[in-house]
Amino acid sequence: MDAVVKFTNQSQGRDRLLRATQYACSLSSYLLRNKSERKDLVAKLKSLEANMSAGRKLFRLGNTVNSIDAAKRTMQLSDPVLCLCLTVANVNRALYFICDNVLWARNVGLIRDIDKERWSLNASRFYFLSLIMNLTRDAYVISQLMRQKAKDKQFKRKMDAHLNESPEVAEAVVPQLDAFVFLLLESLKSHPAATLDTLKNICDLFIPLDKLGMYQSNAGVVGFCGLLSSLIGIITLAQPKLKIKP
Q: Greatest CA separation found in the chain? A: 69
CA dist 128 and 93 (Å) reads 9
Mean predicted confidence (pLDDT) in 7-29: 84
What is the structure's pLDDT at 9?
A: 46
From CA 150, how far away is CA 133, in angstroms rounded?
26
Per-residue exposure over 81-101, b if at least 16 CB sit within 10 Å of its own CB, e if not: ebebbbbbbbbbbbbbbbbbb
pLDDT in tens, 223-237: 999 999 999 999 999
Contact 233, 34 (CB under 8 A): no
Chain segment 61-103, per-residue pLDDT in tens: 888 999 999 999 999 999 999 999 999 999 999 999 999 999 9
Using CA atoms, how far apart are residues 33 and 226, in angstroms rounded to an integer? 18
Q: Per-residue pLDDT for 196 more than 60?
A: yes
Say if residue 45's pLDDT is above 70.
yes
* Predicted TM-score (pTM) of this structure: 0.89
Helix (H, G, I), strand (E, B) or coil at 173: coil
Note the pLDDT of residue 73: 95
**Residue with the larger pLDDT of the pair 201 and 245:** 201
The backbone torsions φ and ψ at residue 216, rounded to the nearest 5 degrees and listed phi first, read -75, 120
Q: What is the pLDDT of residue 6?
A: 53
Percent of the chain beyond pLDDT 70? 91
Which is higher by pLDDT, 199 or 164?
199
Average pLDDT over residues 11-26: 91
